[in-house]
Amino acid sequence: MSPLFHLLSLLLLAGLAIAFGGYHNHAQEYAARLPPPAEIGNKGGENQVAQRWGNFVLVNQCYYDVYVTEARQEWGGQSFKLPARSPLRTMFEIEYDLPDHEKDVDRRCTNNCGVTYKVTREPKLVGGIGGNQLQFEYTSKDGILYYDISFVDCAKDLGHRTGNAENCPGWKEGLQIDGQKGFDCRTMVCEDGKMCISWNQGAYYVDEPEPRWGLKDPIGTCPTYQMEIYFRLCARNPDL
């Protein structure tokens, strides 16, 4: 391979990584920092939980179509259009094969396996500050579900505890994550058109908000993944 061809290949891959925004799941990173289950009062863990997985439900309450790309660690996933005023319901991916699993049986994630849904108004993904991707993220560790809203790849004009989220799909009409009734899941809310971060509530505008902005991670939790969680775009609009 010539040096020039190699350089062009690296530049092309770098461009694709910027456009995609890379795989990033704040809920997964947060869960990875938590102590073992015995230290947080969960003596069951995933191995003792009945294997009945619940559903991730992306609810497009907007009056416009959006495009959705699913991403897992080391895997980009597929993109599809979610029409206006329609839901996507899919089983939680609590564990999954990693690339090259066929060649190496250890290439499988079985705990704290994050999934990210990148939502855009256009088919093309643009990552980084001022990009076009709203991200709904979740993971399950030791039987507990963690989830969040991320503006890291769509917010712009960032300052200390401030930023402009107008590029983030659904933000102008509000965003919300809420769980099926009766399961004691924490509701995460971004009010329509307002700054959406406070002490462990709202959305990620930046990675690592505690050292950078002095704010706890805005992470929602549910004590089980055996139910439905609703990730709502344009939450102020009527429910479906």
State how far the Cα of 113 lies from the Cα of 125, in Å rounded to an integer: 23
State how far the Cα of 29 lies from the Cα of 46, in Å rounded to an integer: 18
Check residues 35 and 100 and name the one with the higher pLDDT.
35
- Mean pLDDT score across all residues of the chain: 84
Q: Who's near 211: CB < 8 A, 6+ residues apart?
A: none
pLDDT by residue (tens digit) across 80-130?
Answer: 999 999 999 999 999 988 876 555 566 789 999 999 999 999 999 999 999
pLDDT by residue (tens digit) across 169-192?
Answer: 999 999 999 999 999 999 999 999
Which structural domains are found in the chain, ordered by start? 9-233 (2.60.110.10)
pLDDT by residue (tens digit) across 191-225?
Answer: 999 999 887 789 999 999 999 999 999 999 999 99
Phi, psi of 233, deg, nearest 5: -95, 140
Containing 173, the helix (H) or strand (E) segment is: none
Q: What is the pLDDT of residue 74?
A: 64
